Structure 1
Amino acid sequence: MLLNEMSDVLRVSGLRYVRDDRAILDGIDWSVRAGEHWVVLGPNGCGKTSLINCLTGYEMATAGSIQVGEAQFGFADWREVRKHVGLVTSTLVSYLEPYEPVLDAVVSGREAILNLVGERDAALEVEARGLLERMGCGHLVGSRWGVLSQGERQKILICRAFMAEFEVLILDEPCAGLDPVAREHFLGWLGEMAEREGAPSLVIVTHHVEEILPCFSKVLLLKEGKVLAMGGKSEVLRDEWLGEAYGARVEVGVDEIAGRYGLRILEVLR
């Protein structure tokens, strides 16, 4: 699944996802090209996580088409497709068994499986230990998943995602549960990765504009399961678009030196 710079690493067309007679996603058209870095932004309940779950096969779309690389959902083994996607999402929390060793949880990211069975590959174990140290949680190497705090679990999921040999890295609320220092440490690491030659496409899902790094140039803004705005960062991160999305009168600012955005709520309208 090697891609050139003009290839789509992700593409959804007419994506619809209905649960309990409610349309969580309704007619989503969106594509990510190799080398592009996207933000999926929107309020709670707008469908951000459902979009990611449909892309990775953890939820079954009701209608539309989904393509990851050259593989189209319904015509490919999605277990194999997942090996090319680095994924950080709270969805995985419920799938990992409480007794799963932390090292197994990280190593299993290489093959996109859950709850590793059998002996660990020695080379992968060394790689996993290195990732845990870089993430500041090397001390957790002997722990089990069930005893970890929310912040510790998030760090383990980040390390697990980095074990995949991916063309695209999807991060669904990766800073949830991280304290401010840990958050900035992680965002700095992510920014460095984006600047490397041959870096994967990055997709970060967030509520918070302050987590949008300069390396992210594209934004998909969702509201009530539909695309409200989509395009270049400066085109979408505007007072009027974010105000409509969040139901408030807002003021968007950007630090010209750091290149980071901020959002100030002037008036709540709903």
Structure 2
Amino acid sequence: MSNSSCVLSTTELSFSYGGRKTVDRANLQLQAGTLTALVGPNGAGKSTLLHLLEGRLKPSQGSINCSKQIGLMPQRAAIDWSFPITAQDMVQLGTPSNCNTTSANHPNQLLERVGMGAMGSRRLSHLSGGQQQRILLARALMQQTEILLLDEPCSAIDPPTREHLLRVMREQAESGQTLLVSSHDWGSALNDYDQVVVMDGQILANGTPDAVREKLSDMTCMMGSHCCG
């Protein structure tokens, strides 16, 4: 895909916390309408990078070039699921008042899309981990942003749920939304995504799954032999 379709780029983006540089001179480009996996080990800086791109954190150095709206689906662990609201309330929580709600992005329709159509009135505390992941995705879709960042949306869930969420994300990319998805699942990243970004503080590889697979096989992998498989 040509650079003319680039919707977000970073130049030498860095972030330091407690004297440690968690993101180190990251140069990244996201192309419009692509589904991109962001993979790396624990502590690689994936969540920090997503928070920098979304604006929750300010970089120590470098720049972000983006003129599009950016939304973020946080990790499930970052949410207080004892909050006394329903699944439908959660989908609408934080939605801008000027958000154009249509039949396609009505909370009930979004719950249906993620396989939670019968759970709208259920309290958050009564949902399983996989159900909570689906609620967070529906909430992220409700924001209608042109770029969507998802932090470990498929972690600790069963394979059928993971496949369902991947299908929803693929549909969003095919509709023109740009998605960047952090993950520990190397197999899925190299088989189910348009682009793959490999990160361990720095960005070690960035390209199509085939190009990344070839690059990893040619380099000394410092993140464990499984990442080169």
CA–CA separation in structure 2 for the residues paired with 1:96 and 1:57: 24
2:92 is matched with which residue?
A: 107
Deviations 1:189-218 (A, max 9, x none): 333333x3x421221211112323766332
Q: Residue 193 of structure 2 aligns to a residue in which SS?
A: coil
2:142 is matched with which residue?
A: 163
2:178 is matched with which residue?
A: 201
| 8 Å CA contact retained: 1:8, 1:69 | no
Q: Residue 37 of structure 2 aligns to a residue in which SS?
A: strand
Amino acid at match of 1:35: G
1:248 is matched with which residue?
A: 225
Rate the CA distance shift 1:31–1:185 in 2: closer, same or farther, 3 A: same
**RMSD (Å), alpha carbons:** 3.3
- Percent identical among aligned pairs is 29
Q: How many residues align?
A: 227
**Given the two structures, how large is their TM-score scaled by the length of structure 1?**
0.71
Q: Residue 211 of structure 2 aligns to a residue in which SS?
A: helix
1:26 is matched with which residue?
A: 24
Does residue 185 (structure 1) correspond to residue 164 (structure 2)? The answer is yes
**Given the two structures, how large is their TM-score scaled by the length of structure 2?**
0.82
2:206 is matched with which residue?
A: 230
Structure 2 stretches lacking a partner, 5+ long: none
Rate the CA distance shift 1:51–1:181 in 2: closer, same or farther, 3 A: same
| 8 Å CA contact retained: 2:41, 2:184 | yes
CA–CA separation in structure 2 for the residues paired with 1:91 and 1:182: 15
- Correspondences of 1:86-105 after superposition (within 5 Å): 86-90=71-75, 93-94=78-79, 98-105=83-90
Instruction: Report which of the two structures shows the higher radius of gyration computed on alpha carbons.
Output: 1
Amino acid at match of 2:4: M
Structure 1 stretches lacking a partner, 5+ long: 71-83, 113-120, 253-270
The alpha carbon displacement at 1:23 in A equals 0.8
Does residue 129 (structure 1) correspond to residue 108 (structure 2)? The answer is yes
Q: Residue 60 of structure 1 aligns to a residue in which SS?
A: coil
| 8 Å CA contact retained: 2:25, 2:202 | yes
Runs of 4+ more than 6 Å apart? none
Q: Relative contact order: is structure 1 or structure 2 higher (C-alpha 8 Å, sep ≥ 6)?
A: 2
| 8 Å CA contact retained: 1:9, 1:167 | no
